[in-house]
């Protein structure tokens, strides 16, 4: 029997006053929640399983509202996300929902709320990785980490490794703006491992550190050590991550 294991946590970091990230694992969601120890869920391989993070835009009021408006529909739609077109349609619908909620608060604090999203739909023989914004999906293998998602960010200035700017997100403006989700299909085999995370993890930690931690620990401990490393690097933003693995038992 083949299973999917997911070890995840979500934390505000050391600088932000609140956690504006949200997380979805199958039918389960965590919104604006603080966890310091990883939670591990196990699912039998079968219908499509969605695992995703949403990062409410920092500096925009209502970031936690926007991220929740994305993960909750994904939790509901998850088993129906069997193809790339279905994933794109779901993300477009989430974008519309964020704008509709913001429009109901015209002139209020939610008027320009927005969020990024990144995740994977795990199917019996393949993974659909998707994103809008700069949250990431990374494939971990013996050859190291490989980014599967596509950052929606402007070109980096010389000498800079990261940027807090995004060129595309869900919501984020007062006037409706369409999105063009990135969706990539990947073959899947037992032992394959993916890291799905917000930029609160990847901004303070370079790829070689992420790779070293993942190589040195099993999934639950790796999730904890990744969070710990981001905290030790200053914890400048909300940190949400999920380590996904396919196993045969």
Per-residue model confidence (pLDDT) at position 182: 98
Confidence band of 155 (pLDDT split at 50, 70, 90): confident
State residue 4 phi and psi, 5-degree precision. -115, 125
117-139 burial, b for 16+ CB within 10 Å, e for fewer?
bbbbbbbeeebbbbbbbbbbbbb
Asked whether the predicted pLDDT for residue 58 surpasses 90, the reply is no
How is residue 116 written in tokens? 């990024």
CB 53, CB 23: distance < 8 Å? yes
Instruction: Please state the domain count of the chain.
Output: 1
Q: Which residues lie below 8 Å from residue 49, measured CB to CB, with a gap of 6+? A: 4, 26, 43, 78, 121, 122
- Min mean pLDDT across 110-114, 149-153, 192-196 is at 110-114
Report how far apart, in Å, the C-alpha atoms of 106 and of each of 28, 110, 176 are.
Answer: 31, 8, 13
- In whole angstroms, give the CA distance from residue 203 to residue 200: 6
Higher pLDDT, 1 or 147: 147
Q: Is the pLDDT of residue 59 over 80?
A: no
Encode pLDDT of 40-54 as tens digits. 999 999 999 999 999
pLDDT, averaged across the chain? 93
Residue 111: per-residue pLDDT: 82
In this prediction, residue 154 carries a pLDDT of: 78
Q: Is the pLDDT of residue 143 over 90?
A: no
Q: Is the pLDDT of residue 32 over 90?
A: no
* pTM for the structure as a whole: 0.95
How far apart are the C-alpha atoms of 107 and 64, rounded to whole Å? 18
- Mean pLDDT confidence for 3-7: 97
Domain of 129, in residue numbers: 2-248
- Residue 90 neighbours by CB distance under 10 Å: 22
Contact 76, 50 (CB under 8 A): no
Residue 11 to residue 33: CA distance in whole angstroms: 7
Q: Cβ contacts of residue 83 below 8 Å, gap of 6+?
A: 128
pLDDT above 90 covers a percentage of the chain that reads 80
CA distance 75 to 50: 7
Residues 187-206 pLDDT 10s: 998 899 999 999 999 999 99
User: Distance between CA 158 and CA 106 in Å, rounded?
Assistant: 39
The CATH number covering residue 14 comes to: 3.60.40.10
Note the pLDDT of residue 36. 81
For the residues 116-129, what does the mean pLDDT come to?
97
Q: What is the pLDDT of residue 98?
A: 96
Range in 88-92, 130-134, 164-168, 235-239 with the lowest mean pLDDT: 164-168
């Amino acid at each position: 029997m083949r299973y999917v294991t997911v070890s995840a946590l979500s934390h505000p970091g050391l600088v932000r006053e609140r956690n504006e990230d949200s997380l979805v694992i199958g039918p389960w969601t965590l919104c604006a929640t603080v966890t310091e120890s990883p939670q591990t869920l196990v699912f039998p391989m079968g219908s499509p399983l969605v695992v995703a993070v949403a990062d409410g835009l920092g500096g925009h009021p209502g970031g936690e509202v926007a991220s929740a408006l994305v993960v909750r529909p994904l939790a509901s739609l998850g088993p129906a996300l069997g193809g790339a077109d279905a994933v794109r349609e779901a993300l477009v619908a989430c974008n519309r929902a964020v704008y509709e909620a913001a429009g109901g608060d015209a002139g209020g604090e939610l008027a320009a709320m927005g969020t990024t999203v990144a995740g994977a739909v795990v199917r019996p023989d393949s993974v659909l990785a998707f994103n809008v914004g700069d949250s990431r999906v990374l494939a971990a293998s013996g050859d190291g980490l490989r980014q599967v998602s596509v950052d929606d960010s402007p070109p980096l200035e010389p000498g800079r490794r990261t940027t807090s700017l995004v060129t595309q997100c869900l919501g984020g403006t007062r006037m409706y703006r369409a999105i063009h989700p990135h969706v990539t299909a990947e073959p899947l085999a037992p032992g394959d491992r993916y890291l799905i995370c917000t930029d609160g993890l990847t901004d303070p930690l370079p790829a070689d550190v992420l790779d070293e931690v993942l190589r040195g620990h099993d999934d639950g401990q790796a999730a904890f050590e990744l969070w710990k490393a981001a905290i030790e690097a200053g914890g400048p933003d909300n940190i949400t991550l999920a380590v996904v693995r396919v196993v045969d038992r």
